Amino acid sequence: MASAPTRVAAGRETKQKLVDAAIERWSVDGLAASFDVIATDVGMTKGAIYHHFGSKNGLLAEVYEEAVKRHSERLSEASAEGSGRERLLGLIDGSARLYGSGTPFYHLLLHLHVAAGASRPDLAPVARRQQRRQRKYLTELVTTGQGDGSIRADISAAALAETVDATLQGFLVQQLEPPSTQRRAVRAFRGLLDTLL
Amino acid sequence: MASAPTRVAAGRETKQKLVDAAIERWSVDGLAASFDVIATDVGMTKGAIYHHFGSKNGLLAEVYEEAVKRHSERLSEASAEGSGRERLLGLIDGSARLYGSGTPFYHLLLHLHVAAGASRPDLAPVARRQQRRQRKYLTELVTTGQGDGSIRADISAAALAETVDATLQGFLVQQLEPPSTQRRAVRAFRGLLDTLL
Amino acid sequence: MASAPTRVAAGRETKQKLVDAAIERWSVDGLAASFDVIATDVGMTKGAIYHHFGSKNGLLAEVYEEAVKRHSERLSEASAEGSGRERLLGLIDGSARLYGSGTPFYHLLLHLHVAAGASRPDLAPVARRQQRRQRKYLTELVTTGQGDGSIRADISAAALAETVDATLQGFLVQQLEPPSTQRRAVRAFRGLLDTLL
Amino acid sequence: MASAPTRVAAGRETKQKLVDAAIERWSVDGLAASFDVIATDVGMTKGAIYHHFGSKNGLLAEVYEEAVKRHSERLSEASAEGSGRERLLGLIDGSARLYGSGTPFYHLLLHLHVAAGASRPDLAPVARRQQRRQRKYLTELVTTGQGDGSIRADISAAALAETVDATLQGFLVQQLEPPSTQRRAVRAFRGLLDTLL
DNA sequence: ACGTGCGGGACATCCCGTTCGT
DNA sequence: ACGAACGGGATGTCCCGCACGT
């Protein structure tokens, strides 16, 4: 039925494949990886990319959006169950595990964050939105925990959320360091929180 | 007689000026800023750079080293006096103030960190050394604080140092976000530590 | 029933709109202006142009023809009434006024003339025809003037027509210079003719 | 002595050769002719051009200047001797002969004039200067002629100069038409002037 | 110690033509 | 009659590195 690649559907598919290929390439080779290397990866030419995204920044923007989305989904999974406290700690562990997984994907994410803040102002809105969402989500977790009694009620939920947020960003950068370093840092932070909450 | 040492001295001076110019340029325009733009900034041509540093990466390495040194010195100043606790908190405040100063210099530092971890493996040793030093310094501060009674003795000094270290790196990334966000995060973290210690 | 002719009529209308849009665009942006920018200007895509004109040169040819026609009509109006002498001078004034109007349209006309003579041999026939017509028209005016006594009879009509023709082309180029220059040149030429005729 | 191609001299020579090659190429193939085709013509690469001229427009500007200079010199030769009247007519004949010579060089000159007036505003100053010089030179010739009695004194020198100037520009455009047309136009104009002066 | 000429390579941009669908 | 997907090619820009000279 829908199998007839009705030309426009083929286009959509191509576009998606290009985004995937870009994520893959840029993850591994860094943001410098060239335009038509990506195209070649899916058996197309530069013309196709240009057609679908208009410019390199166009592709970059879509890639950023997609990457952020994927990461968010993974985090949601990692903090889906248990008391508020458990979910919060789960999110921290999950983040750390993902960042430390050595997956090039998180190299890309870091690069994109940095680029958005510095050289590529057009990506800034995406970054901003993502930050806001993350902070809001963290605050919710804390509040939930305070509601169900798993987190001390005499702490400002917002302040805690912001601290965790900042530290998570620190972990994002620390993916560049040896795994042992990462692991120790995470354990230390978790311990601190555990006694604190 | 004096001409030989003079020659040498002139060379050294040129070299230093090139490093300065590179820091300045790369801070403002990003690491993409070209080779001979930097040379032109000090009234020279590429030839000079190539002569003194061998390659672009050569210059980059020296710049990295220099930038790290400058930052360290500033941090030492910010944590020079008072009890161990005061010095630790001073260092955190100092870091935050510097990162949040909007100085392009810290853009450069972030870029260099990221580059060292990803695209430019030759910079990795510099990064590693710097990390080690920072962690050691933090541990010292905590130990000092525990010695003089300004910090609770029942906390692992290493664990605390590593948490602080991670969060500080988080702040480094957060320089890219609006100042208000930075400020809130710092205050939240400081508050947490204050109750904790 | 009516749908077939309607279809055809819609096609014709689209074609005309494309020619208009091309004249507009190329007048303003120069002949470099791209293919589907023009299409977009009338809410269509390249496909439409390609369908109606076969190629870029196809469109160009039609545009040239159309532009020449429009210009001719304007000149006819400017030299419609009075004695032969008055009509001749009227034509000169009219040309000058049009060229000097600053209308981008005359930029386009000049570009097309030049292109026809040099890079685009396929446009040459159009140019040739237009030249012949213009020269013939000028000769007629002179002859008329000599018939009604408003122009000296001892001048070769053809020679006069050719001189005027050349000078008018000079004015066409001079549209690129400041209006004051143009105006002076026209007045000078008119004066000369006036004493001469 | 000076034969030692002291590196910098070689550079100057290369630069000159590039200008020559550009004139040649652009004359024949039109202004579209590519950057490194020209470089290849003198056995160099794009890098060399970029080094010497900074950009395509840079090269274009120098070419324009050079082309104008060459043309001026030829005109001066063609109007060097005789009474003022003879020199004026000589200049007209000379222009016509050059334009009509079929030399691609004059195609280039026309293209440059048009480009300067329309698409390439950075060339405008060159064009302006050249126009001024030409007008001034024409006026001088007329005045000289009126001084030595070879040209009627009751004509405005400036007006005459401007008319001639405009017509010469017309001839420049007419190079695109068949030689017979050109020749007739020139003869007609010369005849007119002869009776007039 | 430093300037200059130059090579060679990469990359984003842009555009025309075509084919396939509708 | 027209739109969307795509190919393929060309071009200007820019930059690093290396010989040379000096």
Bases along strand E below 7 A from a protein CB: 1-22
Query: Alpha helices of chain A — where are they, by DSSP H?
Result: 8-29, 35-41, 46-53, 56-78, 84-99, 104-117, 124-147, 157-174, 179-196
| CB neighbour class for D67 (10 Å; exposed up to 12, middle 13-18, buried from 19) | buried
CB-nearest partner of A188 from B159, B184, B187: B159
3-state SS track over chain B? CCHHHHHHHHHHHHHHHHHHHHHHHHHHHCCCCCHHHHHHHCCCCHHHHHHHHCCHHHHHHHHHHHHHHHHHHHHHHHCCCCCHHHHHHHHHHHHHHHHCCCCHHHHHHHHHHHHHHCCCHHHHHHHHHHHHHHHHHHHHHHHHHHHCCCCCCCCCHHHHHHHHHHHHHHHHHHCCCCHHHHHHHHHHHHHHHHHHC
pLDDT, one tens digit per residue, over A64-102 is 999 999 999 999 999 999 999 999 999 999 999 999 888
Confidence of residue A5 (pLDDT cuts 50, 70, 90): low
Cβ proximity of B23 and B103 under 8 Å: no
> What DSSP state is assigned to residue D122?
G
Q: Determine how many CB atoms are found less than 10 A away from the CB of residue A108.
A: 24
CB-nearest partner of B185 from A107, A127, A162: A162
Cβ proximity of A150 and A84 under 8 Å: yes
Per-residue b/e over D6-31, b at no fewer than 16 CB within 10 Å? eeeeeeeebbeebbebbbbbbbebbb
**Minimal Cα–Cα distance from D10 to chain C, Å?**
35
Q: Which of A103, A106, A100, A109 is nearest to A127 (CA)?
A: A109
| Mean pLDDT of all residues in D126-147 | 94
Give, in Å, how far the C1' of E14 lies from the CA of A84: 54
- For chain B, list the contacting chains (3+ Cβ pairs, <8 Å): A
Instruction: Please report the pLDDT score of residue D28 as a whole number.
Output: 92
Q: What is the C-alpha separation between A160 and C154, in angstroms, rounded? A: 104
Q: Which of D171, D132, D175, D167 is nearest to D27 (CA)?
A: D175
* This prediction's pTM: 0.90
Q: What is the C-alpha separation between C193 and C159, in angstroms, rounded? A: 13
Q: What is the C-alpha separation between A172 and A192, in angstroms, rounded? A: 19
CA distances from B137 to B79, B140, B163, C163 (A): 10, 5, 13, 92
**Minimal Cα–Cα distance from A53 to chain B, Å?**
24
* Structure tokens belonging to residue C160: 């006069």
Find which nucleotide's C1' atom is closest to D37's CA.
F11
* Rg (chain D; Cα; Å): 19
Contact status of A166 with chain B (Cβ, < 8 Å):
yes
Contact status of A27 with chain B (Cβ, < 8 Å):
no
Hey, are the CB atoms on D118 and C107 less than 8 Å from each other? yes
Q: What is the C-alpha separation between B161 and B173, in angstroms, rounded? A: 19
Q: What is the C-alpha separation between B97 and B82, in angstroms, rounded? A: 19
What residues contact residue C58 under an 8 Å CB cut-off, 6+ apart?
none
Q: What is the C-alpha separation between D72 and D134, in angstroms, rounded? A: 8
Q: Which residue has the tokens 């403002």?
A: B28
Q: What is the C-alpha separation between B173 and B41, in angstroms, rounded? A: 29
Question: pLDDT digit of tens for each residue in chain B (197 aa)?
Answer: 444 557 678 888 999 999 999 999 999 999 999 989 999 999 999 999 999 999 999 999 999 999 999 999 999 999 999 999 999 999 999 999 999 888 999 999 999 999 998 888 889 999 999 999 999 999 999 999 999 999 999 888 998 998 899 889 889 998 988 888 889 899 988 988 888 88
Q: Which of D106, D160, D117 is nearest to C174 (CA)?
A: D117
Query: Alpha helices of chain C — where are they, by DSSP H?
Result: 3-29, 35-41, 46-53, 56-78, 84-99, 104-117, 124-147, 157-174, 179-196
pLDDT, one tens digit per residue, over A35-52 is 889 999 999 999 999 999
Hey, are the CB atoms on B118 and A30 less than 8 Å from each other? yes
**Minimal Cα–Cα distance from A132 to chain B, Å?**
10
Contact status of B162 with chain A (Cβ, < 8 Å):
yes
Task: Decide: helix, strand or coil at residue D80.
Answer: coil
Hey, are the CB atoms on C170 and D170 less than 8 Å from each other? yes
Question: pLDDT digit of tens for each residue in chain C (197 aa)?
Answer: 444 557 678 888 999 999 999 999 999 999 999 989 999 999 999 999 999 999 999 999 999 999 999 999 999 999 999 999 999 999 999 999 999 888 999 999 999 999 998 888 889 999 999 999 999 999 999 999 999 999 999 888 998 998 899 889 889 998 988 888 889 899 988 988 888 88
Residues of A in contact with B121 (CB under 8 A): none
C37 contact to strand E (CB, 7 A limit): yes
Distance, first Cα to last Cα, chain A: 55
Bases along strand F below 7 A from a protein CB: 1-22
Q: Is the pLDDT of residue D1 over 60?
A: no
> What DSSP state is assigned to residue A122?
G
Q: What is the C-alpha separation between C37 and C24, in angstroms, rounded? A: 11
* Structure tokens belonging to residue D68: 């104008």
DSSP string, D96-110: HHHHTT--HHHHHHH
pLDDT, one tens digit per residue, over A61-74 is 999 999 999 999 99
Q: Which residue has the tokens 């040498």?
A: B8
Residues of A in contact with B158 (CB under 8 A): 184, 188
Give, in Å, how far the C1' of E2 lies from the CA of A82: 69
